[in-house]
Amino acid sequence: MKFFLSLLIILSSYVSIAQNNTIVAGEKLIYTASYNMSGLLNELAQVTMETSEVKTSKSTLLKLKCTAATYSKWDSFFKIRDLYESYVSPKTLTPYLYNRDISEGGHEKFMKYKFNHKTRIVASTMRKTRGDGSIWEENKTVKIGTSTRDLVTTLYQIRNLDIHKASIGDSQNFTILFDNKETVVRIKYLSKETINTVLGKKECYKLAISINNSNILKGNNDNVIWLTADKNKIPVYVKFKIAVGSGELKIKSATGLKY
């Protein structure tokens, strides 16, 4: 099931190298995730994004953590327990370590990336659980471009961009590393729009997302994200369309913001 993956790709697409002037440790964003089933939009899961400070022997890093979990009443239908996390520089959000540990409907998969930005090499570990319970593991190195980042890092970097300088209709391509492959994502700035949220009425940047040569996201301007048009640039609403249906993501609460 590509439900949570689609949400992350949509949220993480507007990215370039930038100084971090927005994200601080202690921030927590909670969302409700809904999916269209037989023509009805059902609230299925909770998505949480949170940050924390991690001290190592050499430096202090910022941990960016994203989780998704179906509500218990849906677990018998399709249980999701997903974890995505990245350890980054607090100043630039440059990633050093990325983990992905997912469990979706009995399918389990683990992925780890160790970034070396000087050589532009990622040391990758992929591990899967087979149907018989045995473990399959693959270790390899992946060459990446200078601007290639993981999903979680780009998810947060979006909020450091000067989107107010963009013109309506502007579009740009960006690259993420997923399952050891570089994926090109295109974002288009559609408009400014004021929408109602649990945080009140918010003026937002409305952005359309598409992926080159992929069947993950479907439709033309059917995958849209609304970011608050303020210093925090919080994703407050997302609409998506994938091969097996459509859905949405809505902000439920936001705490620990810098501004």
Q: Which residues, including other chains, have CB under 8 Å from residue 86's CB and lie 6 or more apart?
A: 63, 64, 95, 97, 98, 99, 150, 152, 153
Express each pLDDT in 73-86 by its tens digit.
999 989 999 999 99
Tell me what the mean pLDDT of segment 170-183 comes to. Answer: 86
Q: Which residue has the higher pLDDT, 116 or 242?
A: 116
Instruction: Specify if 141 maps to a domain.
Output: yes
Instruction: Specify if 247 maps to a domain.
Output: yes
| Separation in Å, CA 159 to CA 58, 109, 233 | 27, 29, 5
Residue with tokens 């408009």: 191
Instruction: Specify if 258 maps to a domain.
Output: no
Express each pLDDT in 29-76 by its tens digit.
999 999 887 788 899 999 999 999 999 888 999 999 999 999 999 999
Instruction: Specify if 131 maps to a domain.
Output: yes
Q: Which residues, including other chains, have CB under 8 Å from residue 31's CB and lie 6 or more apart?
A: 46, 47, 48, 49, 249, 250, 251, 252
Q: Contacts for 143-146 with beta carbons within 8 Å, 24 or more apart? A: 144/120, 144/177, 144/182, 145/120, 145/175, 145/182, 146/120
Tell me what the mean pLDDT of segment 131-137 comes to. Answer: 84
Instruction: Specify if 75 maps to a domain.
Output: yes
Range(s) of the domain holding residue 99: 3-253
Of 19-28, 113-122, 164-173, 212-221, the least confident:
212-221
Instruction: Specify if 148 maps to a domain.
Output: yes
Mean pLDDT, all residues of the chain:
87
Q: Give the pLDDT confidence score for residue 157 in this predicted structure.
A: 83
Express each pLDDT in 185-244 by its tens digit.
788 889 999 999 999 999 999 988 877 666 566 656 778 899 999 999 999 999 987 766
CATH no. for residue 245?
2.40.360
CA-based Rg of the chain, rounded to a whole angstrom? 18
Instruction: Specify if 117 maps to a domain.
Output: yes
Q: At 33, which amino acid appears?
A: A
- 13 pLDDT band, cuts 50/70/90, is very low
pTM beyond cutoff 0.85: yes
For the chain, the domain total comes to: 1
Percentage of the chain beyond pLDDT 90 is 59
Instruction: Specify if 109 maps to a domain.
Output: yes
